[in-house]
Amino acid sequence: MKWKKIYGWSIIGILFLSILSSMESFTNEVKIEFWTDEQCKHFHKTFGHHWVKRMTSMDLHARGVKSGEEYMRKLIEEGCMSWSIRERSILRERIGEIEKWLQLNREIVRVKWGIDVEKMEKIPWRLMKMGRVYENGLPHTREEGQVISLSEDFVSGRGEMDQLKTLLHERVHIYQKVYGREVEEYLRGQGIERLGRDSLYYFPRRIL
């Protein structure tokens, strides 16, 4: 009888761990992707030339290089990093808070930013960790991979509120790039226009 009880609790424990494992898999694979250094290198080797070729001589000078090829080589060799277990845990927690906030403020987000939260949920979170050699460590997005680039000290060097604001800000930019036409039409209806073909910054007509 004793062995039957132990066996029964063991089965329950295995089932519980299995459920937890599947939830973790869902969080990591469907909702959040923490890119490794190798994924980061592959991304830049594949798509880097698209934006590097648009750099002017002043852009290159500001980055301390003489050519786009030198910059690409430098960031691939020195800039691409992998997330630590601790960093992934903290970022997963921050993203969870953002997702909850978006759920509770669906209508505000729709009216203020023209964003459909349901559509936004279907876009995976993709996070890439880069050294400061890459764009001086400034957070930004890359349209090709729908990926958010964060600096190596984003988790350790910023407070919780700053992390939340930055992640949400970059998340909105990803949405703007995926659903650019819809966002632009909505903002135009609010009297706001895009400045420049590649810009995600908008200005009210009444100010111009």
**Could you read off the pLDDT tens digit of each residue along the chain, which spans 208 residues?**
544 444 444 443 443 333 333 333 334 434 799 999 999 999 988 988 788 888 888 988 888 888 888 888 888 998 999 999 999 999 999 999 999 999 999 998 888 888 999 999 999 999 999 998 888 888 989 888 899 999 999 999 999 999 999 999 999 999 988 998 888 888 788 777 766 554 444 433 332 2
Q: How far apart are the first and last CA of the chain?
A: 82
What is the DSSP secondary structure assignment for residue 192, as one 8-state letter? Answer: E
CB of 36 closer than 8 Å to CB of 5: no
Q: For residue 28, what pLDDT is reported?
A: 40
Burial group, residue 122, by CB count within 10 angstroms (0-12, 13-18, 19+): exposed
Task: Round to whole Å and give the CA distance between 135 and 206.
Answer: 33
Task: Round to whole Å and give the CA distance between 114 and 8.
Answer: 52
Residue-wise burial string across 68-102, b where 16 or more C-beta atoms lie within 10 A, e elsewhere: beebbebbbeebbbebeeebbebbbebbeebbeeb
Give this prediction's pTM: 0.76
